[in-house]
């Protein structure tokens, strides 16, 4: 008897997605990046609420556009050509094919609409409700860390053109509110705003709306525990069990893509209620 984690797309405005071929930034030139791209595509497509454009269609659109996708405008142009809400740009920054296998996935999601802004870890979680006590400690830490980064960004010394570095905050455009900067982020940003009667103003954002980098190692107990659970629900009849599953490079990469996606979603309100699964052995 086990509980099967269930994930869904918590972003209705990001339903249609394109995944461009992953880049190999590791020191292993023999790593097949097609395997990584297709693994991420397959795992993302299996999440309820996402429609992922086939990788072959994305590649043909890239060839037709002639763009090398080196800047946000080219990425958005590809997104508009494909009619998607977001374009996923990923890289493998570290890889070891031998035991213990290890991979680092760095993935950025770029919205086709420049008015979409970053979705931080912790956004959409049940803060301030009876469900807050069930938020995993790791999620709480990530959310607090992300908030602290944004708060400390307002305290970083900067000198804009034409401002007096010795002037007072009000003269330099830093009007304090309750003793804090006017742009001070607070935890209410984790809670989605209610509907408004008018469209919000367009404030363009040229960075990724979701950014996540994770390292997975074959000898990490957290990785092996999750891999055992993942394998249990695969109905994989090959010999070797979950250990043999991780021994196979393609399966290891597929599992790591699943872990990367599920962590990204669960950190932003995309984890549903687990399903209880009971299985009988061969003998009763």
Q: Where are the domains of the chain?
A: 2-121+204-277, 130-190
The CATH number of domain 2-121+204-277, selected from 3.40.50.2300, 3.90.226.10, 3.40.640.10, 3.40.50.10610: 3.40.50.10610
Determine the pLDDT at residue 166.
Answer: 52
pTM (predicted TM-score): 0.85
Which pLDDT band holds residue 101 (cuts at 50, 70, 90)? Answer: very high
- pLDDT tens for 136-179 read 999 999 999 988 988 888 887 766 655 555 555 555 555 555 66
- Give CB contacts under 8 A, 24+ apart, made by 27-31: 28/95, 28/96, 28/97, 30/97, 31/92, 31/95, 31/97
Lowest mean pLDDT among 18-27, 49-58, 181-190, 205-214: 181-190
């Amino acid at each position: 008897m086990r509980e099967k984690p269930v994930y869904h797309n918590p972003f209705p405005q990001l339903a249609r997605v394109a995944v461009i071929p992953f880049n190999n930034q590791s020191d292993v030139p023999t790593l097949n990046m097609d395997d990584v791209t297709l693994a991420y595509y397959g795992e993302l497509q299996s999440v309820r609420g996402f429609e992922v454009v086939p990788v072959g269609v994305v590649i043909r659109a890239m060839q037709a556009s002639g763009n090398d996708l080196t800047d946000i405008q080219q990425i958005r142009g590809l997104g508009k050509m494909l009619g998607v809400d977001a374009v996923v740009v990923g890289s493998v920054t570290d890889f070891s094919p031998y035991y213990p296998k290890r991979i680092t996935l760095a993935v950025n999601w770029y919205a086709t609409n420049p008015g979409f802004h970053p979705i931080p870890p912790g956004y959409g979680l049940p803060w301030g409700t009876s469900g807050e006590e069930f938020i995993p400690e790791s999620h709480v830490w990530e959310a607090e860390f992300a908030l602290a980064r944004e708060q400390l960004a307002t305290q970083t010394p900067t000198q804009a053109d034409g401002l007096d570095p010795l002037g007072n905050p009000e003269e330099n455009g830093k009007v304090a509110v309750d003793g804090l900067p006017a742009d001070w982020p607070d935890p209410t940003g984790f809670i989605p705003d209610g509907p408004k009667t008018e469209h919000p103003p367009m404030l363009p954002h040229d960075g990724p709306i979701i950014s996540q980098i994770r390292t997975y190692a074959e000898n990490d107990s957290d990785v092996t525990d999750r891999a055992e659970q993942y394998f249990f629900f695969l109905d994989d009849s090959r010999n070797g069990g979950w250990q043999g599953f991780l021994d196979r490079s393609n399966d290891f990469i597929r599992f790591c893509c699943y872990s990367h996606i599920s962590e990204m979603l669960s950190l932003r309100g995309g984890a549903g209620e687990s399903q209880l699964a009971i299985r009988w052995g061969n003998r009763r």
